[in-house]
Amino acid sequence: DIAMYRAKAVGGGRKGIFEAGMHTRAVELFRLENELRRAIERREFTTHYQPIISLKTGLISGFEALVRWRHPERGLVLPDEFIPVVEETGLILLLELSVMREACARLAAWQKRFPDHRPLTVSVNLSRNQLVRSELPEQIERTLLETGLDARSLRLEVTEGALMENVDSAVATLSRLRDMNIRVHIDDFGMGYSSLSVLHQLPIDALKVDRSFVGRMDGVGGDAEIVQTIVTLAHNLGLDVIAEGVEREEHLRQLRKLGCDYAQGFLFSEPLDAENAQRLISSYRRW
């Protein structure tokens, strides 16, 4: 039931942010929603930025925006501890749109500040709840207008599971977004259950190889072959490939050999607050 779900959602047996112990799901969700609403009002959520490296140029091509909660008692809390619970309330929509707004504004500012840099992109994660909302494209269009970011600089990351759950309405929404020149990336690819026959019909631009495959590329378990297969599959479908969870030089070397297009991971940088991300851009570092 809900108590078990919570314990799982916040990560195994660890003490979570949200304690189960109230009697009904309705009461619990009500309490939670109020707490989250307050956190949003107090601007306790903040966005960090992790660079994505072009393996062709070795330069930063853009950033993934990743939300964090600056919790007054618990310090910086990572999304896996609260997103699954926030998704149970309607507030996920509000939270994600505020992450998107902040990220688009930040990227527009960086593009202005670094005019000689190839226009940096920003990737924003969307939960399954967003994909069934027909008003999403208008909301994103408004955000782009208000922040001054070019639609071509925005990427939306959706998981296979989110896309497949309601594939018809997700495809309709994502098609409209792509008509606006926004790109769509499949996140954590390989962990879901997209059938290959559906994949080529989806309105998408790139696959992000799940970090569990990338992290084991240098072992003997056959994960290098899986990554190679995903790269080939993507390229045959005309899609780009981004490897996530790149932690070691050996991963980078192999990914380059496989012709992977982009890479992201702790080898380059962990997610940084805006100030440190800006410092990284200004270093013009080349990998």
Site of interaction with ligand C2E (CB under 6 A): 50, 66-67, 78-80, 83, 96, 99, 125, 127, 157, 187-188, 211, 244-247, 264-266, 271
Whole-number Cα distances in Å, 147 to 30, 103, 178, 193, 273 = 33, 9, 19, 36, 19
| 157 binding Mg ion? (CB under 5 A) | yes
Nearer to ligand C2E (CB atom), residue 111 or residue 264: 264
The window from 75-83, 138-146, 150-158, 233-241 that contacts Mg ion (CB under 5 A) reads 150-158
Of all residues in this chain, which one has the CB nearest to ligand C2E in the complex? 265
User: What is the three-class DSSP state of 106?
Assistant: helix
φ and ψ of 53, to 5 deg: -100, 135
Nearer to ligand C2E (CB atom), residue 202 or residue 246: 246
CB 102, min distance to Mg ion, A: 16
Q: Report the largest interatomic distance among the alpha carbons of the chain, rounded to a whole angstrom.
A: 58
Residue keyed to tokens 């330069």: 59
CB 179, min distance to ligand C2E, A: 23
CB 147, min distance to ligand C2E, A: 16
CB 145, min distance to Mg ion, A: 24
| 96 binding Mg ion? (CB under 5 A) | no
CB 165, min distance to ligand C2E, A: 14
User: CB of 76 within 8 A of CB of 70?
Assistant: yes
99 binds, among Mg ion, ligand C2E, none (CB under 5 to 8 A by kind): ligand C2E
- Measured CA to CA, the distance from residue 98 to residue 39 in angstroms comes to 13
CB 115, min distance to ligand C2E, A: 28
φ and ψ of 81, to 5 deg: -85, -20
> Residue 136 belongs to what H/E stretch?
helix 136-147
266 binds, among ligand C2E, Mg ion, none (CB under 5 to 8 A by kind): ligand C2E
Site residues for Mg ion, window 187-206 (CB under 5 A)? 187-188
CA-angle at 217, arms to 213 and 222, nearest 5°: 80
Measured in residues, the chain has a length of: 287
**CA atoms within 13 Å, Cβ hemisphere of 198:** 13
CB 265, min distance to Mg ion, A: 11
Among 125, 147, 153, 254, binds Mg ion (CB under 5 A): 125
Alpha carbon 74 to its chain's center: 23
Nearer to Mg ion (CB atom), residue 146 or residue 165: 165
Tokens of 126: 């969307």
If one counts every other C-beta atom within 10 angstroms of the C-beta of residue 82, the result is: 24
| 223 binding Mg ion? (CB under 5 A) | no
| CA nearest to 205, candidates 169, 235, 228, 168 | 235
223 binds, among Mg ion, ligand C2E, none (CB under 5 to 8 A by kind): none
Nearer to Mg ion (CB atom), residue 32 or residue 262: 262
What are the residues binding Mg ion (CB under 5 A)? 125, 157, 187-188, 244
